[in-house]
Structure 1
């Protein structure tokens, strides 16, 4: 397999960690070569991979660096504007695929590879030439998991403005890109990270799509387990960037009566532009003794703080992946989420609790009722915690996901069956 993972880095978070985790898990189980962008080269070498043998780094810095510097000056990704950042990435990405073809095209045509699998970028808007060129060479192409395109829910226009997400209103124009349509047509398999991503495919291509959430778990990074002893106060934590759409403010507002009465504590792990406002919200309610802001923590420290709690209180209203939900489940925490997009698809009544998507006031009321129920009977958490950990072991370890992808690739490459 030739694994194309433009974003793949074991030392970073989010999509680069997904790219690294899946590519390295596949390479551990089959003969594979990883292609990535040169910014990941040093991290690959520190991880023990051999350049030229295990991976190839493609240098596209001469066209990428000026745009990324401009994005940094605009505060994209730190102060919102994620759709604009994704649009910039989609604009840059086709050049990367052309360089991959320039490097590996002759070897693909010579059938040195049985399957080419593009793992990242995850965003479905990034289109390149590899799929159709592999098709012309007679080599199967797997795309994904792709994910994204989650619409802003109604009632949160103020948060969309704070996130500088005006471009999300015209995001669908990428469907007019002929390269995007040709990529989907030429792909033999399309892995979709969510129901939204699947629904975003033209109907004629859904028959070759497989639903597979893009996030997974490396058990070596999650070595501790929360104690679910049914005791009070109810111990909750939030993990993530403190940005408007993650809605930590809703979590605090919903919990105020229980925090004030001593029936609940709240650890907030993460940092971001909303931290000052959240600290002011806590101070105004007089809750400084029971709400702790930990800021950014090293991964080991995150799990050390997290396992002191019983639930992950994570009411994000626009989360296309929700990897933190899986991480919480791996640690034995019970996730409490809003039933929308990624978290809503990952959590069911066996492993967690969720409230309906609605406006901010209704979500706050629903969360408050749910928290009150848990305080009345925290014993329900133990069973959900155990079920969540079991589900992670069965379905979401990177090794299990790699095994499934190799099975799919082998079947398609052998022309035995369609996915």
Structure 2
């Protein structure tokens, strides 16, 4: 089958290069597929309409947008009053199901005999899908989830929050039996065994392991930036509690002369800025707010390493982006970063306690601050790993195999 004979209907809650996170996944699938001449369509909520129109001015006839509903606006405002994980599991779920209900009607209008429906997000293995009975094969994922906090940090989350999440997970089998898109999907893709174990029961399709994240190597090029080695560390991410930026800030105090640039925004901004001031590090910890991916790449080019002390990171695309640019990464040995890194291309700090993490990050930061050769060696190894496993072009190569294989008369090899 030629690329032009295949129709791929990408269904996602949203797609955005600007906001990153899981929203960037459907953006990249659509971008790469269209660059190859595949008959791809993108069906998303209208919240990123303006951005997508700017990004794909020649593809406007292939973009379909779900209008924002009054009920969704109400759910969004109520959800903001709740802790993040509770909000996502309740009002966030309801909002996305409303979007999927509208998307399903759009998909039915676009289905052809050579069509495949691909639902790459949400990446949560428990989240239900309404994409059943479409008259076309359904591919879901790759998903990445099944996460818990490290044992030493589980007390940081309120008991009632843990209880609600546990209840939601146990109830997910019932929800997925009623809303049966995922259960009846032809192929379900998972990023790792942790996610496979978290899937709802009763799946009828094949479950395959495929990497969740990829890297646009043109967006994150190696060999740019200052050649002079400076002890400049960088954090990129949402400023939320589980990112544990406080660990890196405290660790910085034990690394004389080093600086930490922080890119991102969120509810912990004032708290962590105040912490840096209280520790006498206000001039060495610099908060830059939210920046575009192009600006992030510029800051990363001048850094000696990326730090990511997150204790609840299912994926961590920023790790791959740093690796693509040939930058070493210091991260928590938990979740996504532990899937991407090993001792050859990064430094992983076990989350045995907060004190141990602060000590481990401080030691790793001192090493990289004082050893330019180590930075180069580890960074180059990371770049090679990305080229081999996480290039978006290779990722789409694998997805093309799967798309074709789920059409009648073909099978996955």
Structure 2 match to 1:150: 147
**Aligned-partner SS, 2:194:** helix
Structure-2 residue corresponding to 1:53: 61
- The equivalent residue for 2:3 is none
Does 1:122 find its partner at 2:123?
Answer: yes
Contact 1:317/1:338, CA 8 A, preserved across alignment: yes
Secondary structure of 2:406's partner?
Answer: helix
CA separation in 2, counterparts of 1:377 and 1:60? Answer: 52
Distance 1:181 1:383 in 2: 49
Q: 1:7 to 1:414 in 2, by over 3 A?
A: same
Q: Please state how far the C-alpha of 1:410 moved relative to its aligned partner.
A: 0.9
Q: Secondary structure at the match of 1:182?
A: coil
User: TM-score, with normalisation over the residues of structure 2?
Assistant: 0.86
- Tell me which residue corresponds to 2:33: 26
How does the TM-score come out when normalised to structure 1? 0.85
Match 2:11 to one of 4, 7, 13: 4
SS at match of 1:168: helix
- Does 1:351 find its partner at 2:345? yes
From the two aligned structures, give the one with the greater helix fraction: 1
Does residue 288 (structure 1) correspond to residue 282 (structure 2)? The answer is yes
Over the aligned positions, Cα root-mean-square deviation in angstroms equals 3.0
Structure 1 residue matching 2:195: 3-state secondary structure: helix
Which one is further off, 339-348 or 25-34? 25-34
Q: Which moved more, 1:88-97 or 1:330-339?
A: 88-97
Contact 1:163/1:244 (CA < 8 Å) preserved in 2? no
Closer/same/farther in 2, CA of residues 277 and 82 from structure 1, 3 Å limit: same
Shift of 1:378: 4.0
Q: Which SS does the other structure have where 1:258 is aligned?
A: coil
CA distance in 1, matches of 2:10, 2:39: 10
Corresponding residue of 2:382: 388
The whole-number CA distance in structure 2 between the counterparts of 1:185 and 1:270 is: 37
Aligned to 1:255: 252
Structure 2 unaligned blocks of 5 or more: 1-7
Contact in 2 for aligned 1:84/1:167 (Cα 8 Å): no
The within-5 A match list for 1:323-342 is 323-342=317-336
State the alpha-carbon separation in 2 of the partners of residues 361 and 163 from structure 1.
Answer: 26
Q: Distance in 2 between matches of 1:271 and 1:107?
A: 38
2:409 — aligned with what?
A: 415
Counterpart in 2 of 1:208? 206
Map residues 16-415 of structure 1 onto 2, 5 A cutoff: 16-29=23-36, 30-49=38-57, 53-59=61-67, 61-72=69-80, 74=81, 80-105=83-108, 108=111, 111-131=112-132, 133-134=133-134, 137=135, 139-157=136-154, 159-161=156-158, 167-172=164-169, 173-179=171-177, 182-201=180-199, 205=203, 208-223=206-221, 225=223, 231=229, 234-259=231-256, 262=257, 264-375=258-369, 377-415=371-409
Whole-angstrom distance in 1 between the partners of 2:366 and 2:30? 43
Offset at residue 351 of structure 1 (A) = 1.6
Report Cα offsets for 1:348-403 as digits up to 9, x if no partner. Answer: 12221101232212222222333344456442221221122233333323332222
> Over residues 221-244 of structure 1, what are the superposed CA-to-partner deviations in whole Å (9 max), with x where a residue is unaligned?
33464669694x533111112221
Whether contact under 8 Å (1:225, 1:332) holds in the other structure is yes
| Counterparts of 2:101 and 2:114, CA distance in 1 | 18
Going from structure 1 to structure 2, the CA distance change for 1:195 and 1:31 (only over 3 Å counts) comes to: same
Give the 3 Å change call, closer, same or farther, for CA 49–218 of structure 1 in structure 2: same
3-state SS, counterpart of residue 12 of structure 1: coil
Distance verdict in 2 for CA 1:372–1:219, change over 3 Å: closer
Distance 1:91 1:203, change over 3 A: closer
Q: Offset of 1:181 from its aligned partner?
A: 7.6
**Relative to structure 2, which stretch is displaced further, 386-395 or 176-185?**
176-185
Change (3 A) 1:355 1:115: same
How many residues get paired? 404
Mean alpha-carbon deviation: is it higher for 46-55 or for 306-315? 46-55
Mapped to 1, the partners of 2:17 and 2:252 lie a distance apart of: 36
Cα deviation 1:114-160 (Å, max 9, x = unaligned): 311112222333323323x13xx3x3210012223311222224542
